[in-house]
Amino acid sequence: MQQSLNPWITSPTTETAEEETTDTYMPPAAVISAPLKGMIEPDAADRLARRTMSGSAALWIIGAHGGAGESRIADLLGARATDHCWPVLQDGSEPRVLLVCRADMRGLTAARSALTQWVSGATPKADLLGLAVLADAPGKTPKSLRDFAAIVGGGAPRLWTLPWVEAWRHGDTTAPSSREYQRFITDMAALATETTSSTAH
Taking only Cα atoms into account, the Rg of the chain, rounded to an integer number of angstroms, comes to 16
Backbone phi and psi for residue 182, each to the nearest 5 degrees, phi listed first: -65, -40
Task: For 33-84, write each residue's pLDDT tens digit.
Answer: 555 555 566 566 667 989 999 888 999 999 999 999 999 999 999 999 999 9
Given the DSSP bridges, would you call strands 60-63 and 80-81 parallel, antiparallel or unpaired?
A: parallel
Burial of 71 (0-12, 13-18, 19+ CB in 10 A): middle
Task: For 91-149, write each residue's pLDDT tens digit.
Answer: 989 999 999 999 999 999 999 999 999 998 889 999 999 999 999 999 999 999 999 99
Q: What is the pLDDT of residue 8?
A: 59
Specify the pTM.
Answer: 0.78
Q: DSSP letter string over 41-104?
A: PPPGGGSPEEEEESS--S-EEEESSTTSSHHHHHHHHT-EE-SSEEEEETT----EEEEEEESS
